Chains A and B, each alone.
Chain A
């Protein structure tokens, strides 16, 4: 239990590292050794995260299932959660479903018994908090919420962060801002862990903005070059667009949930019909805007490929494995809001699924025309995030989180592999012109890259196969799902085909394609990097290969999986209780579908096969140079090369419109209307001031002043004549005055 009640230590360690490195790093260890502090602190954090995961596993595995929904709040501090407090006071009543449009139709109460009969054990999140500040009646807490989802992210973030820290000590060696780089890696790790552990939505916003700040700082790490600082600004500003949605959505939830920020309160109330459907719908639409910017969803994804201007380890950690999944994490965290708000259950289309599916397909198409290996991976990340968002949109919660989990490993591996290639091959990321033939020269990178590519493409039995298949099954297009999202299934299958194809294309350009074409700037032939780069690659590739076994289906091709292995991930991560959509509201898990699994595998293999035939064998002659001959193909290629003209839309159309006609119109309006009023007021003021000046100021006020002065001058002048300095004249005056006084006295006495 100690691990579950003290997870705050995990973000505290890198925070300490940030402060120490920033303030003392150079002085304590010298300019190039800050990584020792950073690596050791993250390593301790990783060990703590593993301990927390172990504690969570023993916390969730009960010999006899806990079936009472009230038990789900047993470890929630009533101080933090209003619902937990009322559960402690009133018992079952507090979380009994309230019949509303979106719960009654599915017959919540009836099915609740069903869930209990099924022997499904409630998950018991552990929530601890301290008072942050209070304002009137509103209490603002800061604390930790530990459940399967946050434990999962604790392990992923600390592990990937640790490997990236180790990798960077070689990759960024000798950098002009080495200490600064490590300080920000530490701050990023701390902020991400803070976000993941957030107990309330306000805390989530703080973490969300902190990771955005670190992303900005690290993308612009080499800010001396203009494109890098431009990319950093673009990332930051694009994210601001979505952050507005996050703020509005959070505020709507706060008020509609009865004045609480607590995640469990919001989830329970959304899930039991205590928040109106309209409020949930508006809040979820606002929050989707935040997901679109942070998690790189169409049409706000444009910052993510540009963010590759940052150092490669940063891309691996922030822009592939952790920060960009913050949006997925947030949706998963507040899932009842989206599930009921968007009416995901029993439906066949909704905003979240559309955004995800469009991103999944269109992102993967863009990866085909890139020359820069990191850009390919960036679009791949965009596309894979689209998969996760689609999974959430179609109700496949576990599939989304499972894909997040496996994707973190193989995508980090691919990014670090790209960094390794560039590090060895003259610091260029242009795979078409500056790489090639590296298979024999860099065997470790080659093999890890191929394994991670296989995992990404979804080749059996690597990790991506399992998670991607779970998402495809979850769409319900081919079998029982939460809804029946045919369009999502078709778009994602096409995206899976594209993914396999563009990744194979990358392998051709980098590792085959004749001889090495680049220039190593006098470092001789490209050769394999040292262990600090190779070891993280091997670890991540291994995890990318085996992580899929964490959630094996119960039954596959007629073979029953052992009970202790099947659906382990789902059991540990997915919440069960009044704070999560249950079976009663149409939330089901799609079973593993043999046909679909084989179908998606064939699609992926087809993608690999076609590209293999095209590049390696030179087959498919009609396709070579198609873009030069066919107008349609040329148009398509041009659209892709211009990234669907989205950047053009943003910079030229929107910004251009604001800059030119709108600015001119505003300027005219400003000059003629607003300034007219201001000038009119000004002119009136000047004119009346003249009148006041002439008449009142000059005449009356100055008249009085001058009159006083003149009077004083003249009396003074007159009196000064008496000041002759002659004693006898004074004496005359003196005696005369005395005589007059004496006369007056005599008269008065009479």
Chain B
């Protein structure tokens, strides 16, 4: 079935995204990896949308819009982080240590 390929692609993309989020130290790259995860979800939504009705694709459009906002906030945080610390290495951000 055609849908299997789409789902496999999405799963691979998701795994790459998760890998990037977990191992990258650069904040910008972590954000980019999150984009990959989101897009993997989008592919799933569109793929399922072709099987049933149009709402899956509409939902994918909403996710793209929300992701744009999310990236805006994320980049602003990274920018402020760089201004205060002169570094965007997220390994150094351990103030939440319990």
Contacts and interface: CB of A to CB of B under 8 A. Distances in A.
Interface stretch (B1-9, B15-23, B43-51, B56-64): B15-23
A728 B90 contact: yes
Contacts of A725: 93-98
Interface string A731-742: 110010000000
A724 B90 contact: no
B91 interface: yes
Size bin of chain B's contact surface: 10 to 19
A732 B97 contact: no
B23 A728 contact: yes
B96 A731 contact: no
Q: Which of A724, A725, A727 has the most CB of B within 10 A?
A: A727
A731 to B, nearest CB: 6
Contacts of A138: none
Contacts of B97: 723-726
Main secondary structure on A side of the interface with B: helix
B90 A720 contact: no
A735 B37 CA distance: 12
A237 B90 CA distance: 95
A541 to B, nearest CB: 108
B21 A726 contact: no
B98 A728 contact: no
Contacts of B95: 725
B96 A728 contact: no
B94 A726 contact: yes
Interface in B5-45: 18, 21-23
A721 to B, nearest CB: 9
Interface string B63-98: 000000000000000000000000000110111111
A720 to B, nearest CB: 5
A735 B90 contact: no
Contact of A726 (B18, B23, B91): B91
B22 A724 contact: no
A578 to B, nearest CB: 102
Nearest to A739: B18
Nearest to A735: B18
A724 B94 CA distance: 7
A724 B95 CA distance: 9
Given A727-B90, A728-B90, A720 B98 contact: yes
B21 A731 contact: yes
Contacts of A728: 21-23, 90-91
B89 to A, nearest CB: 11
Interface residues of A, number: 11
Contact of A732 (B22, B90, B94, B96): B22
Nearest to B91: A726
Contacts of A731: 21-22
A727 B18 contact: no
Contacts of B91: 726, 728
A642 to B, nearest CB: 95
A138 to B, nearest CB: 78
B31 to A, nearest CB: 12
Contacts of B96: 723, 725
Contacts of A724: 94, 97-98
Nearest to B94: A725
Contacts of B94: 724-726
B98 A727 contact: no
A732 B95 CA distance: 18
Contacts of B90: 727-728
Contacts of A722: 98
Nearest to B25: A728
A735 B20 CA distance: 13
Contacts of A732: 22
A510 B62 CA distance: 129
A735 B98 contact: no
Contacts of B93: 725-727
B32 to A, nearest CB: 15
Q: Which of B18, B23, B95 has the most CB of A within 10 A?
A: B18
A731 B96 CA distance: 14
A716 to B, nearest CB: 10
B25 to A, nearest CB: 8
B55 to A, nearest CB: 23
B26 to A, nearest CB: 12
Q: Which of A728, A732, A735 has the most CB of B within 10 A?
A: A728
Contacts of A723: 96-98
A745 to B, nearest CB: 16
Contacts of A720: 98
Contacts of B21: 728, 731
A728 B97 CA distance: 12
A622 to B, nearest CB: 120
Interface in A681-733: 720, 722-728, 731-732
Contacts of B18: 735
Nearest to B96: A725
B78 to A, nearest CB: 12
Q: Which of A722, A724, A726 has the most CB of B within 10 A?
A: A726
B50 to A, nearest CB: 23
Nearest to A730: B96
A724 B98 CA distance: 6
Nearest to B24: A728
Nearest to A736: B22
A489 to B, nearest CB: 112
A555 to B, nearest CB: 123
A720 B94 CA distance: 14
A722 B94 CA distance: 12
A20 to B, nearest CB: 80
A724 B96 CA distance: 7
Nearest to B21: A731
A620 B91 CA distance: 135
A731 B91 CA distance: 13
A724 B23 CA distance: 16
Contacts of A727: 90, 93
A735 B23 CA distance: 13
A726 to B, nearest CB: 5
Contacts of A726: 91, 93-94, 97
A724 to B, nearest CB: 6
B15 to A, nearest CB: 10
B82 to A, nearest CB: 16
Given A723-B96, A725-B94, A726-B93, 14 more contacts: A723-B97, A723-B98, A724-B98, A725-B93, A725-B96, A725-B98, A726-B94, A726-B97, A727-B90, A728-B21, A728-B23, A728-B91, A731-B21, A732-B22
What are the nearest 10 A-B pairs in CB distance?
A723-B98, A725-B97, A725-B94, A725-B96, A720-B98, A726-B94, A728-B22, A727-B90, A731-B21, A724-B97
8 contacts: A723-B97, A724-B98, A726-B91, A726-B93, A726-B97, A727-B93, A728-B21, A732-B22
Interface of A: 720, 722-728, 731-732, 735
